[in-house]
Amino acid sequence: MSKVLLMGQSNVGKSVLFNRLAGARATVSNYPGTTVDFDKGRMRIEGQDVEIVDIPGSFSLEPKDRAEEVAVKMLEETKGATVVCVIDSSKVERGLYLALEIIEKRHSVIIALNMADVAKDANINVDAERLEEILGVPVVPMVATRGEGLKELVSRIREAVPVEIEGIIKNVGGKSGTSSHS
Amino acid sequence: MWEVKVERALTADERWDLVDKITKEVVKVGAYKPGLRDALASLTVNPWTGIPFAIAVLYGFWTFFGEFAGLFTDGFFVRIFGTHWIPWLSGALEGLPDWLFTILVGDRAVFAEDFVGDPCFAAGGVLTTGLFMPFAVVLWAVIALFLVLAILEDTGYLPRLAVLVDTVLHKIGLHGFAIVPTLVSLGCNVPGVTATRLLETRKQRFMMIALLGVFVPCGAQIGMMEELIPGLIGWVFLTLAIGYLGFGWVLNKIWPGESPEILMDVPPYRAPQWSNILRKTWSRTRHFLMVAVPFVLLGCAIVMVLYATGAMDTIASGLEGFLAAVFGVPADATASLVVGFLRKDLAIGLLPIDAMTNYQVFISVILLTIYFPCLATFAMLLRELNWKEILATLGFLIVTIFVFGGILHLIGLAGGWY
């Protein structure tokens, strides 16, 4: 059975999304670090059973605490999985850092730009289409607590592919790091 | 071309550089007008306004807890059990042999004409007190506490409380975020222990778990205290808080390891979703019912068997001198200490409150709280700590009971309160 991992920083709504997708009842709170262990659930994508895993929030792939260790270990153990990177639309920078790390590890990634409502309230505008062009992976704006964008996310999970980090660097017109050890 | 496809990792700087370039193209930040949410956010974190606010919030929730639990317990279930269920059951099962009657219903003396006291607590049988305590008293207390905690969690207030208490908790080597496992433990110690995973170092986790297991009473215990000793509960909490901070300070000094600063993310305030709050309250309540009720029933059965066989008298007379000398507690409290291993709420319910002075009740309740953690919590300790830390926790527990109990005994003697 193929696997979908929900990853992202803490308190970006992974567990809310998990509950929505898997019809599960993971504990959800408004403070970072509510999920300290992983939860598994099931969902159907295009007629196929898929295992979906809610993973503790992690700032980066270098673990700082036990919950982050759980997250990193989970990612390493499931090489072929699709990773849904959940990003808080009002804090895109931080979410992108982790997303890039996961992309560099050659996982199939799809980005869920969650909390679109919060970003809008804060007058932050995120251009999802441009982000998709740059990264080369699907980017879906959503509000998981209200279920907005959920259908699009599910229908595009299959489009998640591994991409080259070099390609992303080229897309923003940079040469950052390309010169080193080649 | 001799390009080889390898997993190429950027350095952290290169990655941040790339993130910068991407966000410059993708994110547009417009002018931002601070609203009520922001005003509230700064009001609750600034110490001058935040501390009074925190006191008001916690007091409000405490009042709600007392009223809610009181409404169901005193207003409804005490009457159902006291005037209907227990008298009816004792009549219906009167023909049973003595030993069975004692285990199921309780001490026959409680049903004599001249008995004064509350049969709900005094009977002690599996079908009387064993059902009364979890369903009539404790259930409503834990529902109220879980509800309150869920609201605190979902609005985003907990991390702000953490910012406020950070200075104090840093003095004992813990991060402000330690308030989260502490408050969660007031509902139930089991998720409290799990919540310590968000602390960074092993030392902080060990300290937190040891302090939780020893000094933080759970919702079930609090419910029993609120029902049985409402006048003393403030003193109990104050004493436990002093113990928590004092022993935390000592542990921080003697246990090796670091207690670094942790950067903490404070999320924005959000309106809680009632469906989520109710779901959370329910799932925790269900866990309580499944874990606690069997142990309360088992505990009642064990105590009644010990009474019926006379074993309790033997244990009590063996412990009498010790209990009196070290803690100034009468031998009548033995039964309570015996079941304290199983369930502390039951243990508090079994204290012979009418036969003790206020100070003896106070010290007994404190002893029961810092006593061995309940079995479910102990199972969590085994899972989360290594053997060295488990031994240290048990050692800490024993030392605390004697030192803390002894000090309270001396204070009581000095004050002439016994």
Taking only the tens place, the pLDDT of each residue in B22-70 is 999 999 988 877 778 888 888 888 888 989 999 999 899 989 988 998 8
- Looking at residue B258, its pLDDT comes to 77
Considering only CB atoms, B155 lies closest to which of A25, A30, A64, namely A30
Considering only CB atoms, A11 lies closest to which of B265, B273, B280, namely B265
- Check CB contact of A17 with chain B, cutoff 8 Å: no
Considering only CB atoms, A65 lies closest to which of B150, B194, B197, namely B197
Split at pLDDT 50, 70, 90, the class of A137 is very high
- Looking at residue A128, its pLDDT comes to 94
**Is B276 inside any structural domain?**
yes
Mean pLDDT of A112-139: 92
Considering only CB atoms, B180 lies closest to which of A31, A104, A126, namely A31
Mean pLDDT of A117-122: 87
Cα of B183 to nearest chain A Cα, Å: 13
> How many CA atoms lie less than 13 Å away from B402 in the CB half-sphere?
6
User: Which chain B residues are within 8 Å of A122, Cβ to Cβ?
Assistant: 32
Considering only CB atoms, B23 lies closest to which of A11, A67, A96, namely A96
Using CB atoms and an 8 Å cut-off, which of residues 20-79 of chain A contact chain B?
A: 25, 27-34, 36-37, 56, 64-67
Task: Name the residue of chain B whose CA is nearest to A176's CA.
Answer: B14
User: Which chain B residues are within 8 Å of A37, Cβ to Cβ?
Assistant: 194, 197
User: Which chain B residues are within 8 Å of A27, Cβ to Cβ?
Assistant: 280, 283
- Looking at residue B395, its pLDDT comes to 93
- Looking at residue B210, its pLDDT comes to 93
Contact B293, B134 (CB under 8 A): yes
Number of separate helices (H) and strands (E) present in chain B: 22, 1
Cα of B274 to nearest chain A Cα, Å: 12
Q: Is the pLDDT of residue A108 over 60?
A: yes
Using CB atoms and an 8 Å cut-off, which of residues 94-153 of chain A contact chain B?
A: 96-97, 100-101, 104-106, 118, 122-127, 130-131, 134-135, 145
Considering only CB atoms, B267 lies closest to which of A11, A126, A130, namely A11
> DSSP letter at A115?
-
User: Which chain B residues are within 8 Å of A96, Cβ to Cβ?
Assistant: 19, 22-23
Q: Is the pLDDT of residue A116 over 70?
A: yes
- Check CB contact of A166 with chain B, cutoff 8 Å: yes
Cα of B34 to nearest chain A Cα, Å: 9
**Is B405 inside any structural domain?**
yes
- Looking at residue A178, its pLDDT comes to 45
Task: Name the residue of chain B whose CA is nearest to A63's CA.
Answer: B200
- Interatomic CA distance for residues B160 and B54, integer angstroms: 9
Domain regions of chain A by residue span: 2-171
Split at pLDDT 50, 70, 90, the class of A177 is very low
B26–A127: do the CB atoms touch at under 8 Å? yes
- Looking at residue A174, its pLDDT comes to 65
Residue numbers of the domain that contains B292: 43-415
Number of separate helices (H) and strands (E) present in chain A: 7, 7
Q: Is the pLDDT of residue A37 over 70?
A: yes
Task: Name the residue of chain B whose CA is nearest to A36's CA.
Answer: B197
Residue-by-residue DSSP string for B114-154: T--S-HHHHSB-TTTHHHIIIIIIIHHHHHHHHHHHHHHHH
B207 closest CA partner among B273, B258, B166, B252? B252
- Looking at residue B144, its pLDDT comes to 92
B270–A28: do the CB atoms touch at under 8 Å? no
B28–A124: do the CB atoms touch at under 8 Å? yes
Residue A111 contacts by C-beta under 8 Å, 6 or more apart in sequence?
A: A84, A85, A87, A99, A131, A132, A135, A137, A138, A139, A140
Cα of B25 to nearest chain A Cα, Å: 8
- Looking at residue B355, its pLDDT comes to 85
B149 closest CA partner among B187, B181, B197, B188? B187
- Interatomic CA distance for residues B91 and B108, integer angstroms: 11
Contact B229, B253 (CB under 8 A): no
**Is B134 inside any structural domain?**
yes
In the predicted model, residues of chain B with pLDDT beneath 50 are: 1-4
CATH number of the domain located at residue range(s) A2-171 in this protein: 3.40.50.300
Cα of A95 to nearest chain B Cα, Å: 9
Cα of A104 to nearest chain B Cα, Å: 6
Split at pLDDT 50, 70, 90, the class of A172 is confident
**Is B19 inside any structural domain?**
no
> DSSP letter at B198?
G
A127–B17: do the CB atoms touch at under 8 Å? no
- Looking at residue A179, its pLDDT comes to 44
**Is B354 inside any structural domain?**
yes
Q: Is the pLDDT of residue A125 over 50?
A: yes
Six-digit token pair at B54?
A: 């925190």
Q: Is the pLDDT of residue A66 over 90?
A: no
Domain count, chain B: 1
- Looking at residue B8, its pLDDT comes to 62
Mean pLDDT of A72-86: 89
B22–A131: do the CB atoms touch at under 8 Å? yes
**Is B189 inside any structural domain?**
yes
